[in-house]
Structure 1
Amino acid sequence: MHSSPIIQLDNVRLSYPSPTAQPVEALRGITLSIAQGEHVCILGSNGSGKSSLIQLFNALILPTSGDVRVLGKSTLDPANAMAIRTRAAMVFQHPEDQMTTSVVADDVAFGPENLGVPREQIVQRVDAALAAVGMGHLAQADPADLSGGQKQRVAIAGALAMDPQILLLDEPAAMLDTHGRQSIQRIVGSLKRRGITVVHVTHYMDDALLADRVIVLDHGLVALDGTPQRVFAHHERINQLGLELPFAMRLSQRLRDSGINAPLTAGQDELAHSLASMAPQGPVRHTPSSNEAGIGSAPRNHEDAIPAIAFRDVSYDYAQAASARKKRRHGLCQPAKKRPSGPLALDNASFSLAPGSLTALVGHTGSGKSTSIELACALKVPLTGTVKVNGIDTADLRLRPRLRKEIGYVSQLPERQLFAQTVYEDVAFGPHNLGLDEDEVRERVASALAKTGLEPTEALLCRSPFALSGGQQRCVALAGVLSMRQPVLVLDEPMAGLDPRGREHVRALLQDLKKQGTALLVVTHSMDDVAELADHVVILDHGRVVADGTPREVFTTRADALESIGIPSAQAFAERLASMGLSFAASSANAAENIPLTIDELVASLTEVLPHGAAR
């Protein structure tokens, strides 16, 4: 039983200024309370008001009307702001927004220092916070040299070092790998046991299942509020809101639609035991699904073509690159490159992409993924080895104009690539630089926007991109890259921070680009996306390529390389069923071919052997 409310909202409305006459209303009369020690997950589609709501809880923004009380203090009184913020620590969606120093440990210490915490206590807090997020070994690193996931861990450590009564998390796992997300879940569990209130904005349904309470927002209103079980029982409403059900509930719903009498539950243990008890003795034979060609083998019709991207014995070292930049700034001649004695960001890496294929680049946080894609896009040049794009050496400065026509780059936060006064000017910038006539530019702009799901109306084209919602800004930035129609695209976590409906749209876009012959290099932490979309997988670990093959080859034969990144949800559930006696392999000879990697394959396999009957 939770104690008295620690956060209270009474008929809260929040509006943002707009270039038009009418302001944009983000929250529309919300009344709720959160008890001390309660773990609350806030769900909702992009633009539903989640980030606005959580920022009210530490007085970062103030309501347009209504009252917000935190720790019994009204946020409307400016005198209360500091007292509230010292006890309600926040981790933002974009961690670099919280980076203030050039040393990780100093960054984590920044909050406690501002609170006047004694020096010896600060040291203890910093060490404990960094250890909690697995970043103690990088305490003296420069945050600017960290990957996006590592920066997120530092931001969480900074919040923990404040020793808060309330921890506010706004999509903290968007850039993290499987282990990173699990570490956050462990941290949240530990804080809950200590009586700390946790409010967690997330798009991960597994996070919501672990909460005491789930609040679902829809266009600034509370659509659902209750325990995870009660909220997810409204499965039709969840789908209408652009969200998705937890994996077990999606699977059980699919099986019921196929005539299998499966329990409609969000609990994987409950569903697995039920299905195992229904199954006859003997193995389940895997039935290839419609996308089996995509996950079973890479395209073979491009084997003789020039690779779209080719890494050959590539190494990169940030320390040496920084030293070279410093020497150039001071006008000093640079010594010949030599291999450093310390660890490398990328170490003798070799892999290639076939034209018209999708290669997933995966690995734990800090494994070298971001370094690899920056090398592929010629934002960096190798310390040793070569990187070629359609045969063009990225280190050859004379060929850069040709190279830019061959490869496009969509960063982790593409909306930060926006710069023009109107949507049209932003998307048209690249085509104009190609010297295309205005009719061709207009056609490319309209086509690119349509591909991202935005209708290219005159009203949209004339709007400032900075007046759009976050999701719309991301679409405009992506359209600016698509309008170049480059044959090779590199995308860094293209679905991070998107709601389930937005992720599904990006998946469809990637499939469409691949059909058009575009070669795609996609960095992702989602093994479900790898299984569904990829033809080819490259796994990095501490800068080295540790696995290289098709998704089926990697997921079914390289257990040693999968420890840090996990496996697809369907495969994990199939393995759980196998441990209960429901085997997916008729013999060891075809074990790999019989293991389901996607939910479509899992449903197809189970419907062949499970008894059919009217679903309850």
Structure 2
Amino acid sequence: MASSSLPVDTTGRIAPSDMNRVRTEGPARGADAPLIRLENVHFSYPAAPAADGLADGPEGEPPRTEALAGISLSVRPGEHLCILGGNGSGKSTLVQLMNALLVPTSGTVEAFGFDATTMEGALEIRRRAAMVFQHPDDQMVTSIVADDVAFGPENLGVPQPEIVQRVDAALEAVGMSELAQADPADLSGGQRQRVAIAGALAMQPRVLLLDEPSAMLDAQGHASVQRIVQRLNDRGIGIVHVTHFMDDALLADRVVVLREGTIALEGTPEEVFAQRDVLRTMGLEPPFAMRLAEQLAHAVPDLPATGDAGLLAHDVAHRISEGADDLRATGRDVPTLAAAPAHEAPPAQAPGDAIVFDHVSFSYADEASPRRKRSRRHSTRPAPLALADASFCVPRGSLTALVGCTGSGKSTSVELACALKLPRSGSVFVGGIDTADLARRQELRAQIGYVSQLPERQLFAETVRDDVAFGPRNLHLSDDEVERRCTEALHAVGLDPSDGLMGRSPFALSGGQQRAVAIAGVLAMRTPILVLDEPMAGLDPAGRDRMRSLVQRLRSEGVTMLMVTHAMDDVAELADHVVVLDRGSVVAQGSPRHVFGQSPCPAPGLPAPLAFARELARNGVPLDCEPLTLAELCQALLARLPEVRHHGAAC
């Protein structure tokens, strides 16, 4: 078995290789003793001195920003604990303290009976806890998926046959078996996240620490992670899950909500979500079913306060049926809605389209290093195509949503649209310019702006001002115009363009502020076309609302946008046009109502209101329209509820 002298990866990926050994290892402790215990924990990050008047710390040290302030919390054996909170509330800091990746400024952190502040204690803790980070690239260590998943067990000296079994089982659990021999660099962000989760599963942890593991996954991938988490918890593995998805919290035994480094709420999911007003003050929101019940509360009293949309649909369907029977008994007409219009046909390609993909194919094998190309020459399998004969358009002035399952080719498409890659065959036109025309490359760059999946990683300058101003300066604008654009762009993303902020290092800001600065740098270019790759990923509900407002304002100003997203609710709310990819091919395009109205639906999920309406139909109460938004669903339900019609209530 592994000894304490074995190397431990600094990302915290080391975990026990044998569950029975783990359950008996470590200091003697009571069966009901907490696995992890934090007592009055404070933690501060050192902050770089800035031009905003911040005072230095003690004895001339850099000022410190307190991320956690007096946290006391325990994790019990086999417990599923969910941690919620807005961006910057301290969630990631808290979970890294639990895995001894950070040391508290003051207070006590103990896990599995070991002191997390000592080197020996940290090594022992990481043998018993596996962590999945917010960004999968932070955990990729090899050039082959299977080797990456095997990395932790190999470091623990697990026998090779058992490693093979663990790797196979872990990859199957996250739906990545077919890509076991792929290079993680060739995978989409969501696929790499699955590999990171598989690496944690292969170590058979006693506690699994998850920091936003579904942020880059589609609806199916998110549901798969939920099932994996539930299965592991059913086997007795403790779960600590940091998330912005409110539905994840419904599966937990206990929910903790952080606000500015302190515990603001704690209790069962039902107890926490009952505090709707308090949650909203923290920029959070209840799950969809609770928001719908709240919208209907004045018209339909005593609806169940549940986050389970299926349970709510069953109750609402029963009330509609019961009310209709009462009306029939009195001889009155049962109200109905007018039939929904026929599904629209997808629009034909127009000469003025802002972006046109004309039979485009692309393979990452074409960009492979010489070493990888040599290895592929000996392979009998053809190089996979990330895009295969794809043709679609982005109408000028529209917001076009690009959707599809993880690995369908979405991020590849936007990189082709921005001329960061060139197609193997076919052509991509942006504003009428062929991206392969190198002579017009500068002209093309002035046409299109790109906000990547992790925009904060686009930062590079020493100050916020220099980072936001970089693009406008390259356009050779006057200093006054550059300053004006920087100020307006920072205002647009919700930041105050004070001299203090402009003079700070972007790397000294919070994660949410870094993302805002990166987006401001793209907005300052004022390009007529804007590409957004998962702009809502990793944002709390308040941050998503701000991003939606920004997108709506840009669209009203005539900016053409191509937005990659896994959130079907955002597609329904924001998009004029939808393109659906599946394994590199275009399988549907048209308006949201046209795409979501197809049967079977080609999109990788449904907007929550439409899914609820279809659940009503399965309960015997079909609606006469297909609502895509909460407002449409509410209106349709009120029209079907006789008692509501009688009282003249409105949503």
Structure-1-length-normalised TM-score: 0.92
Tell me what 1:320 maps to. 366
Deviation, structure 1 residue 326: 8.4
RMSD: 2.3
1:177-197: CA deviation from partner (whole Å, max 9, x where unpaired): 111111111111111111000
1:433-492: CA deviation from partner (whole Å, max 9, x where unpaired): 000001110110000001001111111111111110000000000000000000111111
Q: Is 1:140 the equivalent of 2:181?
A: yes
CA distance in 1, matches of 2:434, 2:632: 41
The amino acid of 2:318's aligned partner reads S
Contact 2:345/2:594, CA 8 A, preserved across alignment:
no
Contact 1:362/1:540, CA 8 A, preserved across alignment:
yes
The partner residue of 2:97 within 52, 56, 65 is 56
Tell me what 1:333 maps to. none
Tell me what 1:128 maps to. 169
Classify 1:210/1:287 alpha carbon distance in 2 versus 1 (closer, same or farther; 3 Å): farther
Tell me what 2:405 maps to. 364
Q: Is 1:453 the equivalent of 2:453?
A: no
What are the residue-to-residue correspondences of 1:130-529 with 2, within 5 Å?
130-257=171-298, 262-279=303-320, 280-281=323-324, 284-285=336-337, 306-322=352-368, 341-529=382-570
CA distance in 2, matches of 1:80, 1:602: 54
Q: Is 1:603 the equivalent of 2:642?
A: no
Select between 78-87 and 242-251 the one with higher mean Cα deviation. 78-87
1:374-412: CA deviation from partner (whole Å, max 9, x where unpaired): 100001111111000010000111110000000010001
Classify 1:76/1:284 alpha carbon distance in 2 versus 1 (closer, same or farther; 3 Å): farther
Select between 121-130 and 553-562 the one with higher mean Cα deviation. 553-562
Classify 1:435/1:287 alpha carbon distance in 2 versus 1 (closer, same or farther; 3 Å): farther
Deviation, structure 1 residue 362: 0.6
Q: Is 1:86 the equivalent of 2:115?
A: no
Residue 138 of structure 2 aligns to a residue in which SS? helix
Residue 292 of structure 2 aligns to a residue in which SS? helix
State the aligned residue count: 587
CA distance in 2, matches of 1:463, 1:446: 15
What are the residue-to-residue correspondences of 1:63-102 with 2, within 5 Å?
63-102=104-143
Residue 379 of structure 1 aligns to a residue in which SS? coil
Tell me what 2:16 maps to. none
Tell me what 2:33 maps to. 4
Q: Is 1:580 the equivalent of 2:626?
A: no
The amino acid of 2:620's aligned partner reads G
CA distance in 2, matches of 1:461, 1:365: 37
Contact 2:310/2:612, CA 8 A, preserved across alignment:
no
Q: Is 1:13 the equivalent of 2:42?
A: yes
The amino acid of 1:98's aligned partner reads Q
CA distance in 2, matches of 1:253, 1:571: 18
Residue 25 of structure 1 aligns to a residue in which SS? strand
1:331-389: CA deviation from partner (whole Å, max 9, x where unpaired): xxxxxxxxx95541100000001111011111111111111111000011111110000
The amino acid of 1:321's aligned partner reads E
Contact 1:431/1:484, CA 8 A, preserved across alignment:
yes
The partner residue of 2:69 within 28, 46, 49 is 28
Structure-2-length-normalised TM-score: 0.87
1:60-106: CA deviation from partner (whole Å, max 9, x where unpaired): 00111000110011101211111111111000000001111111111
Classify 1:78/1:406 alpha carbon distance in 2 versus 1 (closer, same or farther; 3 Å): same
Classify 1:286/1:366 alpha carbon distance in 2 versus 1 (closer, same or farther; 3 Å): farther
Instruction: Give % identity.
Output: 60
Residue 5 of structure 1 aligns to a residue in which SS? coil
CA distance in 2, matches of 1:48, 1:228: 19
The amino acid of 1:423's aligned partner reads V
Contact 2:595/2:601, CA 8 A, preserved across alignment:
no
Gaps of 5+ in 2: 1-30, 57-62, 325-333, 375-380
CA distance in 2, matches of 1:84, 1:264: 39
Classify 1:286/1:178 alpha carbon distance in 2 versus 1 (closer, same or farther; 3 Å): farther
Residue 59 of structure 1 aligns to a residue in which SS? coil
The amino acid of 1:138's aligned partner reads L
CA distance in 2, matches of 1:584, 1:303: 33
Classify 1:489/1:287 alpha carbon distance in 2 versus 1 (closer, same or farther; 3 Å): farther
Tell me what 1:591 maps to. none
CA distance in 1, matches of 2:218, 2:346: 27
Deviation, structure 1 residue 297: 7.4
Deviation, structure 1 residue 3: 3.4
Contact 1:56/1:62, CA 8 A, preserved across alignment:
yes
Tell me what 1:335 maps to. none
Classify 1:411/1:37 alpha carbon distance in 2 versus 1 (closer, same or farther; 3 Å): same
1:195-240: CA deviation from partner (whole Å, max 9, x where unpaired): 0001000011111001111110000111111110111011111111
The amino acid of 1:571's aligned partner reads L
Gaps of 5+ in 1: 330-339, 586-593
Deviation, structure 1 residue 323: 6.4
Classify 1:50/1:529 alpha carbon distance in 2 versus 1 (closer, same or farther; 3 Å): same
Deviation, structure 1 residue 299: 12
CA distance in 1, matches of 2:528, 2:97: 45
CA distance in 2, matches of 1:355, 1:318: 29
Classify 1:161/1:325 alpha carbon distance in 2 versus 1 (closer, same or farther; 3 Å): closer
Tell me what 2:25 maps to. none
